[in-house]
Structure 1
Amino acid sequence: MTEANGTTELPKTCKAGVVVNEGPDFTVAVEDVPVPTPGPNDLLIKLNATGICYSDIHYMLNDLPMGSMSSYGVRSPGHEGAGVVVALGSNVTTWKVGDRAGIKPVYDCCFACELCWSGRESYCDAAPQIGLNFPGSYQQYVLSPARYTQRIPDGVDDFVAGPIMCSGSTIYCSLKEAGLRAGSWAVFPGAGGGVGHMGVQIAKAMGMRVVGIDGGEEKRELCMKLGCEAFVDFTKVEDVAAEVVRICDGKGAHGVFVTASSAPAYASAPGMLRISGKIMCIGIPPIGTAFAGADPLLLIGKNLTFSGTKVGSLLDTARALEFAARGQLKPIYEVFPVAKLPEAVAKLRSGKVAGRLVVDFNA
């Protein structure tokens, strides 16, 4: 193992947000945990920042059919980390101490199957999740396989890069797979949230006409500032789908990107589409609480397509970072010091966040 600054010793412990009482009544505490030692093929990364994603809440609630954090011996969730390499495993030759590096939701993949070969490694059967199967980015010093660590380009700071590791990569991948063209209407239920507000910006940069759906004046101001052509407040508009159709030339949207995770968001989406429209399922509801679909007559009569997308590949994440490097993607975030990480998690769980929350490990 090669350590930072040659002979400088790394700390024995670091700060970490850990889940207490995993399940519906969970809480988060900040504790000192051991700094891990990299294996032969690993990097040890000192994180400067981590975004907080609602998937972290799902893991701590244990309300997804993916196994529990505790069953894997994991206490710290998180998968939106950005920092610097401080130590290398003995076999690592493609990275050096001091390189900037990012932590994504997928921890690793096999690189030996059709999915990996075709750039769809997020769906690989051998793709464990960081923050669920392995300690995540709520912990300042984390391990990452060198072959599946994301490089962060110059010109993109860690507070921007962190949220892009999941949210930006996810929505870029969904926009890419939807195949919409410049001039198409792209609608974002949950447009003011962590994933949605990045989708608004990327879709705008791709030349699409963007409609945001969310609730409240703060979300409206954010969405219009970021490039929405129109905003629909679901707390004020009785028939959201009809209003979207009216805005979109009276014909409906070409694509609806459901970044919200509520049952009403999924239920109303089919009614927003024009002929041959596409619904992209992105927001993750607790299992059994929402349904993505419609009466077959509507699907047949309007030639509708439903598709689900997970976080993007290494290449997708690199592409999202390129939007940021060009100034076309600027995550909106509120910063919390690591000591207030529990407060940040509670705020996200309450659903009162416009944009993203980011934790500063150095504050």
Structure 2
Amino acid sequence: MRAMVLERLGPIEGKPLQLREIETHKIKKNNDVLVRIEACGVCRSQLHGIEGDWQKYGIPPALPTIPGHEIVGTITQIGPSVKNLKVGQRIGISPLHGSCMHCDYCKTGKEHLCDQAEITGETMLGGYAEYITVSEDFATPIPDSMKSEYAAPLFCAGITAYKAVKASEPTRQKTVGIFGVGGVGHLTVEFAKLEGMRVVGVARNKAHLDVAKKVGADNVIQFTEQNEFLSTLKKEEGLLDSAIVFAPSEKIVDLAINSVKKGGTIVLGVLASIPNFDVFTEKTLRGTLIGSRSDMVDVVRLAKQNDMKIIFKSFPLEQANSVLEDLKYSRIEARAVLTP
């Protein structure tokens, strides 16, 4: 099969991903399915792994590897123990590729927190390729009405957005700020609106603010400098009830904390140090990480029921380097999707 293989870490401008012909995956476990990939979303976390930003977190754990962790494709072969899936069926695969299934997290529906979780595109070869295998337990069926390129972003951006909104303790008519309206952020706007919240989109890039408006944000504010931003926010909205942060910047994290009322909640969907935090304001800082298999089913259901807007553009698999470079410099409107 064809795959974009990462053999060395380095700036994406140096094209570290190389198109290779490698052996096609084979079913090794009785409950595995072999999937012909039709679409794989491009995520900023993959960029951090490729460029070596996350080596201190052990990502990627080994080279060579194949990135890509939001995948939709068609099953071409099933293992002898597979009961609930069939050849010809379309399924999606999230970053959660597997877990131990017997620890306290797995037993309580929080398998994404399992210490032995397998991560697509990191501990397991990912979706920048033509085929992949996955256990039927970690495959999510896709409705026939959903195009693969539309559905793929749901499997990382979608579930991350959904979980972040839930973590913000949404309540109708409360105001939430989405800091970083891009591939994940624009879906966060939509999930927050489904909860009946007033949504303020925040971004540096005017094009991203336009995306926020397109998917239903009630207001948008461009970030330039903290004092100026806070002045505008207080004038137009007052302080926020909660904030969700997807911009990978300590300055933006600090801004979000200062934008929220005393007793409010700030949800972090990025890795960042917390430079300043006043404990006497009784604010809550909460991290969020993808979601469970049950969450993934809910995300697909909500997207279908509400005809959610997923703004994406498709590119051929071999253009992965240039697409990631465009993502790095904010030249992608929302989500990019690779098609083998």
With the length of structure 1 as denominator, give the TM-score of the two structures. 0.87
> Which sections of structure 1, spanning at least 5 residues, go unmatched?
1-13, 285-289
Contact kept in structure 1, 2:96 and 2:117, CA below 8 Å:
yes
Contact 2:68 2:121 in 1 (8 A): yes
Is residue 2:148 matched to residue 1:169?
no
2:194 to 184, 205, 218: 205
Bigger CA drift: 270-279 or 338-347? Answer: 338-347
1:232 aligns with 2:224: no
State the AA in 1 paired with 2:220.
Answer: F
Alignment of 1:129-208 (within 5 A): 129-191=119-181, 193-208=182-197
Instruction: Determine the C-alpha separation between the residues in 1 that align with 2:207 and 2:68.
Output: 26
CA distance in 1, matches of 2:16, 2:254: 31
Provide, for residues 271-321 of structure 1, a one-character-per-residue CA deviation record: whole Å limited to 9, x for no partner.
Answer: 10112110000023xxxxx4236333xx32x32000000001111111111
Q: Counterpart in 1 of 2:339?
A: 360
Shift of 1:108: 0.2
Q: Which runs of 5+ in 2 are unaligned?
A: none
1:214, CA displacement in angstroms?
Answer: 0.6
RMSD over aligned Cα atoms: 1.8
2:2 aligned residue (9, 15, 18): 15
* Contact 2:178/2:202 (8 A) holds in 1: yes
Select 2:248's aligned residue among 261, 266, 279. 261
Q: Which residue of 2 aligns with 1:76?
A: 66
Q: Quick one: which of 38, 42, 48 aligns to 1:52?
A: 42
Alignment-mate amino acid for residue 221 of structure 1: D
Match of 1:295 in 2: 277
Of residues 315, 325, 339 in structure 1, which corresponds to 2:304? 325
Aligned residues: 336
CA distance in 2, matches of 1:118, 1:293: 34
Which residue in the other structure is 1:5 paired with?
Answer: none
For 2:111, the equivalent position in structure 1 comes to 121
Q: In the TM superposition, what is the alpha-carbon distance from 1:199 to its structure 2 partner?
A: 0.3
- 1:210-269 per-residue CA deviation (whole Å, 9 max, x = no partner) reads 000012332222111111111111148852233223333x2x111100011112111211
Matches within 5 A, 1:270-309: 270-284=257-271, 290-292=272-274, 294-296=276-278, 299-300=279-280, 302-309=281-288
Q: Which moved more, 1:157-166 or 1:231-240?
A: 231-240
Q: Is the 8 A contact 2:66 2:129 kept in 1?
A: yes
Q: Is contact 1:269–1:279 with CA below 8 Å preserved after alignment?
A: yes
2:72 counterpart SS class? strand
* Residue identity in the other structure for 1:341: A
Structure 1 CA distance for aligned equivalents of residues 257 and 65 of structure 2:
39
CA distance in 2, matches of 1:66, 1:90: 37
Task: Indicate whether 1:87 and 2:87 are aligned.
Answer: no
Which secondary structure does the structure 1 equivalent of 2:98 belong to? coil
Name the CA shift for 1:214/1:68 in 2 (closer, same or farther; >3 Å): closer
Aligned partner (choices 64, 67, 83) of residue 58 of structure 2:
67
Q: Which amino acid aligns with 1:351?
A: S
